Each structure stands twice: as C-alpha cells, then as structure tokens.
C-alpha cells in the first residue's frame, strides 16, 4: 500500500478518522511554509493537503485566496513547490496530496508535471476543476507514475454520477460538505452521515469530509460518520494572524492541530 492507504488504514485500526490538514505551499514564504508543514505533520496530521498557489482559485474562499496571493507574491513557482515537497519529505513520511487546478498541470505538460510531483514526494493529486469525464490524460499520467487520484463529490452531485467519480479515484473521495467555497463556518452542513453513506454505496475507498470544519467539536461530529476530516481555513488563519511574528506560526499550528485531532477518535 501507498502512504495514503497506510494513513487511512492506521486511523481505522485505531478507531478514529484520519486528520487531513490543508496549507497553501509557500504561504507566506518558502521557509515559513516549510516549518509550518513540518509542524502540522509532527502534531498528528495523517494526510497533508498542500495547496498549489494559483492566481484564480475558484473553489477557495477569501482565506485561501489570500494565502495563495501571499505565496505567489513571495515568489512561489511550480519548481519551488516541488522543492518545498522535497524539503518536507526530508523531515516526514506523512502523505502529501496536491490540491490544485488543471491550468497548473496542463500548462506544465500533464505527464511531466505528474512525474515531477511523484519524484518530489507527492502521493496524490486532487485537481479541483477537472471532472472525471475530462480527466483521461491526467488519470493516465497518475496511474503511470504511481500518484493516487482524489475525486470530489458535492451535495449537488446526482447519484447517477457517483459510479463514474468513484471509478476515477484511487486514493480517497473528498466530500465537499456544503455548496460554495472554502472557509470557516459556525455550523456544520446538514446531512453529512447520509451523504457519506450514499458515497460508500459506490466505493470501498475512504471518504473524507471537508469545507467549513474548524473546531474540535465539529471534527468529532464528522469523525463519527467519515473516514477522514479535512481542516483548512482554520489553519490558514493562524498563518494570517502570525504574519507579524512568523517564528510563532509553526508552534501555533502544532497546538491547533493537536487540539483538532483530539476530536477524531470515535466513541
């Protein structure tokens, strides 16, 4: 098994959900991002979802848009993102999933991009704006180079499309629990257990739930139904709030991850 499968299997054996942490690569700069990623990995993150900074991140809310902007303004490029992964991989074996957009993959050459990602240490790829019906070239490249594919199911996804989405995924299914974009929410979306059950009827892959999860209590509620819990904006906000004292970002992130992960065990 690969790192992603190992992470979910280990969490399942411990009767908990896997904790998936999102950070934007290069936010707010290369070295601070490196220390942030290593810190969240060391604090108990099971899967690191690494956002590849993009100028038009249409699935992201303001928090992650600004993170991408900070990363781009600091000089992050595709080459530097791969270098960041290599540096992270020197410190941890936590699985890394690219959270990216197809323009970034296509413009660099699909096969070359996927091969470079694998060589750097990337385990999976979630291409947000690439539906399975259009993903033939990217899926083939991922299969050729041993990179898992992660596919999205939304609340609006009809049952008729679930078999096609499930067939296109090899890593896990990411259930986007609410319509709209990423961001912290006061309340969880309704119907998460039912949605997870609907997806599981079509796949044996793990189902992770994200969008709007920001507290330990919310993590616990989602963990009761899902195989994984994704937290992003709540962590990215710690980077935003620590820009004046970047040396404090990594410890603050580690503390927040430890608190959130404490909600993953099932009772």
- How many whole angstroms separate alpha carbon 169 and alpha carbon 19? 19
Backbone angles phi, psi at 34, to 5 degrees: -60, -50
Catalytic residue among 27, 31, 46, 49: 49
Taking alpha carbons only, the member of 104, 164, 146, 147 closest to residue 129 is 104
Q: Is 159 a catalytic residue?
A: no
How would you class 249 by CB atoms within 10 Å of its CB: exposed for 0-12, middle for 13-18, buried for 19 or more? Answer: buried
Residue 60 designated active-site? yes
Q: Residue 200: count other Cβ atoms within 10 Å of its Cβ.
A: 18
Query: Which residue carries 């704006």 as its tokens?
Result: 129
CA 68/CA 256 separation, integer angstroms? 21
Q: Which of 46, 60, 123, 148 is catalytic?
A: 60
Q: How many residues does the chain have?
A: 267
The residues carrying an active-site annotation are 49, 60
């Amino acid at each position: 098994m690969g790192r992603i499968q190992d992470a979910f299997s280990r969490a399942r054996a411990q009767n908990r959900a896997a904790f998936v942490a999102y950070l934007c690569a290069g936010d707010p700069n290369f070295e601070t991002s490196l220390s942030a990623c290593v810190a969240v990995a060391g604090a108990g993150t099971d899967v690191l979802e690494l956002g590849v900074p993009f100028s038009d991140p249409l699935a992201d809310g303001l928090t992650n848009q600004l993170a991408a902007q900070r990363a781009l303004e600091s000089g992050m490029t595709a080459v530097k993102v791969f270098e960041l992964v290599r540096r992270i991989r020197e410190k941890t074996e936590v699985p890394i999933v690219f959270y990216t957009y197809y323009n970034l993959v296509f413009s660099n050459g699909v096969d070359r991009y996927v091969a470079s990602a694998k060589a750097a240490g990337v385990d999976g790829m979630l291409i947000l704006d690439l539906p399975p019906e259009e993903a033939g070239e990217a899926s083939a490249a991922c299969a050729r180079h041993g990179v898992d594919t992660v596919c999205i199911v939304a609340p609006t996804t009809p049952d008729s499309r679930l078999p096609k989405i499930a067939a296109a995924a090899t890593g896990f299914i990411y259930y986007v629990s609410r319509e709209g974009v990423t961001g912290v929410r006061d309340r969880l979306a309704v119907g998460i257990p039912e949605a997870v059950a609907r997806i599981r009827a079509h796949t044996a892959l793990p189902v992770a739930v994200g969008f709007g999860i920001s507290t330990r209590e919310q993590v616990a509620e989602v963990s009761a139904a899902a195989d994984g819990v994704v937290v992003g904006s709540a962590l990215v906000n710690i980077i935003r709030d620590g820009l004046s004292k970047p040396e404090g970002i990594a410890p603050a992130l580690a503390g927040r991850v430890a608190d959130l992960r404490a909600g993953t065990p099932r009772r």
